[in-house]
């Protein structure tokens, strides 16, 4: 597991992590930050997608979980990768996607996938800042009648989102922003890192 995690961290640093203090990035929340994490290049990279799927599957394989999913589109590559790996490992776990709003045509569904009320699910997402998108997915799945076991995120930006989500379900972060800002993170970047106490991620103790 640690070997896979190191490979994925290297890809995230190369493809998804950016530092720009002037001018800072504008996040989806409207806040300004010198750090930006665009997970999509890593999630759509063949190696990155495989590593994400294997790591998430290893985290959920013993939970007796029926399905994994979250709010489109950040959660989709994570959920699909984990589901694919689960089938290859002989322990099939379905994936599902939560629309931001219910369809205005056809069946009017908000949750897409072959899932049924009462099934046990894990909510996933790529990056959390405020946690609002994950909370939206949690509420939608609860209204549908699904049992949420936990939340898994690829990267926690450590800006309060995890604490907000934990009011609804336990949270595991594969990485934190501090992990991406690690001692080898800034090849090609001119950032001067401020001394700070690293926050714990799901595998920081491994």
Question: Domain of 80: which CATH number?
Answer: 3.40.50.2020
pTM of the model: 0.84
Say what percent of the chain tops pLDDT 70.
Answer: 85
Structure confidence by residue, pLDDT tens digits, 97-142: 999 887 656 566 899 999 999 999 999 999 999 999 999 999 999 9
Give me the sign of the Cα torsion angle 51, 54, 57, 61: negative
Task: Please report, for the chain, how many H helices and E strands are present, in that order.
Answer: 7, 10
Pairing state of beta strands 25-26 and 32-33?
Answer: antiparallel
Does residue 83 sit within a domain? Answer: yes
**130 assigned to some structural domain:** yes
Mention every residue, 6+ apart, whose C-beta is less than 8 A from residue 199.
Answer: 156, 158, 176, 178
The most confident of 14-18, 79-83, 176-180, by mean pLDDT: 79-83
Alpha helices, H only, the chain: 2-15, 40-43, 46-60, 76-88, 132-144, 161-165, 177-180
How many domains does the structure of the chain reveal? 1
Structural domain includes residue 105: yes
Instruction: Tell me the residue range of the domain where 15 lies.
Output: 2-180
Whether 116 is in a domain gets the answer: yes
Is 188 inside a domain boundary? Answer: no
Is residue 169, in this structure, part of any structural domain at all?
yes
Q: Is residue 149 part of a domain?
A: yes
- Report how far residue 118's alpha carbon sits from residue 30's, in angstroms, rounded to the nearest whole number: 36
Which pLDDT band holds residue 23 (cuts at 50, 70, 90)?
confident
The pLDDT score that the predictor gives to residue 189 is 43
């Amino acid at each position: 597991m640690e070997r896979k995690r190191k490979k994925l961290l290297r890809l995230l640093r190369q493809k998804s992590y950016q530092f720009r203090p002037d001018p800072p990035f504008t996040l989806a929340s409207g806040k300004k930050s010198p750090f930006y994490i665009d997970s999509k290049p890593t999630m759509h990279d063949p190696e990155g997608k495989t590593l994400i799927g294997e790591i998430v599957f290893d985290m959920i394989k013993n939970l007796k979980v029926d399905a994994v999913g979250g709010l489109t589109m950040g959660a989709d590559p994570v959920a699909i990768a984990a589901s694919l790996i689960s089938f290859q490992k002989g322990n099939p776990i379905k994936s599902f996607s939560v629309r931001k709003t219910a369809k205005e045509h056809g069946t009017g569904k908000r949750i897409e996938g072959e899932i049924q009320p009462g099934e046990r699910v894990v909510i996933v997402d790529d990056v959390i800042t405020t946690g609002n998108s994950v909370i939206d997915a949690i509420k939608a799945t609860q209204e549908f009648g699904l049992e949420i076991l936990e939340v898994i995120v690829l990267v926690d930006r450590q800006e309060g989102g995890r604490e907000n989500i934990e009011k609804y379900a336990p949270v595991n972060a594969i990485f934190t922003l501090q992990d991406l800002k690690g001692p080898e993170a800034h090849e090609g970047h001119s950032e001067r890192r401020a001394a700070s106490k690293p926050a714990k991620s799901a595998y920081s103790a491994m």
